[in-house]
Homo-oligomer: A and B are copies of this chain.
Amino acid sequence: MDQFLQAAFEEAQKGYDEGGIPIGSVLVHKGKIIGRGHNKRVQNGSPILHGEMDALENAGRQPASVYKECTMYTTLSPCPMCSGTILLYGIPRVVVGENKTFMGEEELLKSRGVDVTVVDSQECYNLMQRFIQEKPTLWNEDIGV
């Protein structure tokens, strides 16, 4: 795993250790992490703090010019909310840990010109599978099922 996906995975692991949903993300600008985060549905009672959203929130207010040079790393394929946010800010590149557990809006992203790379990480997949087996109801809530 490259260092940035590794950092996103560490966020996911942190979420798991907190009893939350183990999805993590980092926002990278010019080779530097400017925001990192993980899903906070359980921890904050938040329906909007998916991993990607938490990373963006933690990066704070950035000018459009910065987002347009960023790469978003996420351990799981981005859902419609997170994909829409990537489109809003014009983030041009997304690196996805895996999309076997959940297929997000990769096609929509690509159709709008976003470069989407799926790493197919076994570590990301195993962590999600372990979590879903333990807490299937919580997982369904997170994806609106």
Which A residues fall within an 8 A CB radius of B?
41, 45-48, 53, 56-57, 59-64, 67, 79-85, 87-90, 105, 108, 140-141, 143-145
Contacts and interface: CB of A to CB of B under 8 A. Distances in A.
Contacts of A105: 84
Contact of A61 (B41, B53, B67, B108): B41
Q: How many copies does the complex hold?
A: 2
A82 B47 CA distance: 13
B64 A145 contact: yes
A15 to B, nearest CB: 16
Secondary structure type dominating chain A contacts? helix
A122 to B, nearest CB: 26
14 contacts: A41-B61, A47-B57, A47-B59, A47-B60, A48-B56, A48-B57, A63-B141, A67-B144, A80-B88, A81-B85, A84-B84, A84-B85, A84-B87, A88-B144
A108 B82 CA distance: 15
Contact of A90 (B82, B108, B144): B144
A141 B47 contact: no
Given A67-B144, A141-B63, A46 B57 contact: yes
Nearest to A42: B61
